[in-house]
Amino acid sequence: MIRACLFSVLVGMFVSAAYAQVLPNSRLAAPPSPPPGFLPPPLHPRGVTLETRELGDGVYALMSNRPFTDNAGFIVGSNEVLVIDSHFNGAMGRQIIEAVRRVSDLPIKYLLNTNAFGDHVFGNYVFSDDTIIVAHQSTINALKISSVQGMSQTMARTVGGDISVFDGVELRLPGVGFNGSWEIDLGGKVVQMYWFGKGMSPNDSVVFVPDANVAWTANLIFGKGTIPWARSGDILAYQETLRNFSEALQPATIVPGHGEIVSGDLVRSYRQYLAEIRVLSEQAVAAGITIDDFVATAHVDPNYEIEPSLQGLMTGFHRWNLKVAFNEVSR
């Protein structure tokens, strides 16, 4: 039974056209121009396999074998199964279904989409028509004005320009939307979904399993040895979102949308990092430093232990964040 928790819930009507091809993705197609040295996240799914890791009774992470390609997950109750994100295309969506079937024959009743990016939703269409897809209402609104073609163009740099990875994808929209939070009991296993505010994107949602104290954080909080990426261009909003997250949840374990599983302590590190780059930006503006000089050769403070394989990617994220913070404090 779906019920409200903590915040008011908006249960949307099932969209009459569950499979949609609509307007190009105007909302996500034009992020701010990247700074020098920025690298697009490497997300190509070719050759990616998802490793099933049991994190608690009935609680499973699906971890990519290649750094920064998408992770997913699923929860098994006594009555039904819930899946978190559907990955990049039909082949990856089917790989998720196969992983579930190796553990349980129960129906996949729910599929949660944590944001409106194609690497999290493009596998939706391979799930059964009986599977109820749930997302924050802003995710649904973004997808309604999007198309496979538009989203593929947006994501082309993340797959080295190989948009053949999107061949055959159909855009299946979530049928249930919520505002603040959503909750379901799968049969002795409660799963919650929250939207705490704008983060890496305007739509980032968090999935939480209370009895296992595990959170799936999608793009809001990446994995071990990372910093945030304020792609949506708002450091202050990101700080507020992480504050809301910290006040509502204290997960012991985080399954990120990208990167390795990490402890919940990373939330504190993300908050500290964002506060520090705000201060650095204020100091640079006060000193009359130009944005180009401030950003172009910047590196992450060594106090933040970046995974060696992610050094280049995180350096680009850092310079992007500094650019956003500098522009914020210059207003």
Cα–Cα dist 331/328, whole Å: 6
State pLDDT tens for residues 125-172.
Answer: 999 999 999 999 999 999 999 999 999 999 999 999 999 999 999 999
Model confidence at 183: pLDDT above 50: yes
- 32 — pLDDT class (breaks 50, 70, 90): low
Q: Which one has a higher pLDDT value, 148 or 24?
A: 148
Distance from CA of residue 49 to its chain's centroid?
19
Q: Which residues of 307-326 are buried (b: 16+ CB within 10 A; e: fewer)?
A: beebeebbbbbbbbbbbbbb
Q: How confident is the model at residue 67 (pLDDT cuts 50, 70, 90)?
A: confident
Residue 23: pLDDT band with limits 50, 70, 90: very low
pTM: 0.91
Number of helices (H), then strands (E), in the chain: 8, 15
pLDDT digits (tens, 9 = 90+) for 273-289: 999 999 999 999 999 99
The CATH class that applies to domain 19-264 reads alpha beta
Exposure letters 181-205 (e unless 16+ CB within 10 A, then b): bbbbebeebbbbbbbbbbbbbbbbb
Q: For the chain, what percent of residues have pLDDT higher than 90? A: 89
Which residues are paired to 142 by β-bridges?
Answer: none
Spatial contact of 187 and 80, defined as CB atoms under 8 Å apart: yes
Report pLDDT for 142: 96
13 confidence band (pLDDT: 50, 70, 90): very low
Q: What mean pLDDT comes out for the span 110-131?
A: 98
- Dist CA 258 CA 261 (whole Å): 9
Q: Phi and psi (nearest 5°) for 134?
A: -120, 140
Range 293-319 average pLDDT: 97
Q: Domain-by-domain residue ranges, the chain?
A: 19-264
**276: β partners:** none
Q: Which residue has the tokens 């944001």?
A: 115
Flag whether pLDDT at 30 surpasses 90: no
Q: Is the pLDDT of residue 56 over 70?
A: yes
pLDDT at 305: 94
